[in-house]
Amino acid sequence: MSRTTGASRAEPLRRPPRLAPGARVAVVAPSGPVPEERLQAGLDVLRGWDLDPVAAPHVLDRHDEFGYLAGGDADRAADLQAAWCDPAVDAVICARGGYGAQRMADLLDWPAMRAAGPKVFVGFSDITALHEAFAARLGLVTLHGPMAAGVDFLKNARAQEHLKATLFTPESVRTLVSDGTALVPGRARGVTLGGCLALLAAGLGTPHTRISAHGGLVCLEDVGEEPYRLDRYLTQLSRAGWFDGVSGLLLGSWTQCGPYEKVRALLTDRLGGLGVPVAEQFGFGHCDGALTVPFGVTAELDAGAGTLTLDEPALS
């Protein structure tokens, strides 16, 4: 197994082309099993955007022994690779998260996917493992955003509209605004990266991941983790030096992670000493109306004002 890892500093990545009406979008399931009714509803939403969505062959599979997986590792990897390498496909959107992306990441033919050229990739939660891999191995901007069979995507207009704008008119959503205040005020510039905290911690020392967030504006969120677990993940990343040299931090949702005042105190304790701006409640992750955040673009964080402003649109 290759132990290839990414650079030790976050650098701007190549932006894929934006979507146009009629673009073909492949929906894949790299992680957990997908309810058919939710998949069909998600495909209908995408058709309503004048896109041409196609479901990957194994998107509705369920592993024979491990029911938390959407089919076998090889099949999930084959679906993602085939979609990515198909010249007729303009974007790949994950159906849902759960667990399983790490299990299939090493089965992908990364040189072949790199040769296929840039296209849009969307997902969050367990898909954090693939955001890291796409950055390290393909050098591409990816979108941390709602997934095609996700409840929030299906039922929340804000989540739908922000993703749609990012895909079709990304210049219209170059500034994201927080609903909270600054844990640590200040301004910072850097390259966006991050995702689900538990997955970032789990990725330390594994193939296809960056060894450091140096120079990055790190976006963090999680779901269903008690404060002591969040403490453990943050402490692990800190002890590994992953936070060394970060420019700033943006905090998203912490749904079902305990009373927010306790989570907030923990985040302040673990991150406040880094000496960089930290802004909270940026509305991405496992929350109602989740915003789409591009990873791999240079941006400016104003923690006091609660804004993240991209230097250029997420997609070209």
- Token output for 116: 């296929």
Q: Are 244 and 8 in contact (CB under 8 A)?
A: no
Distance (Å, whole) CA 3 – CA 214: 20
To the query of whether residue 212 is one of the catalytic residues in this protein, the response is no
Distance (Å, whole) CA 85 – CA 127: 19
Q: Which of 106, 109, 35, 114 is nearest to 73 (CA)?
A: 106
Write down the catalytic residue from 31, 125, 178, 253: 125
To the query of whether residue 221 is one of the catalytic residues in this protein, the response is yes
**235: Cβ–Cβ under 8 A, 6 or more apart, which residues?**
270
Distance (Å, whole) CA 135 – CA 129: 10
Residues of the chain by 3-state class (helix, strand, coil), percent to 5? 35, 20, 45
To the query of whether residue 178 is one of the catalytic residues in this protein, the response is no
Number of H helices, E strands in the chain: 10, 14
**296: Cβ–Cβ under 8 A, 6 or more apart, which residues?**
12, 13, 14, 15, 135, 140, 141, 142, 191, 192, 193
Write down the catalytic residue from 131, 162, 208, 286: 286
Write down the catalytic residue from 144, 212, 221, 280: 221
The residues carrying an active-site annotation are 125, 221, 286
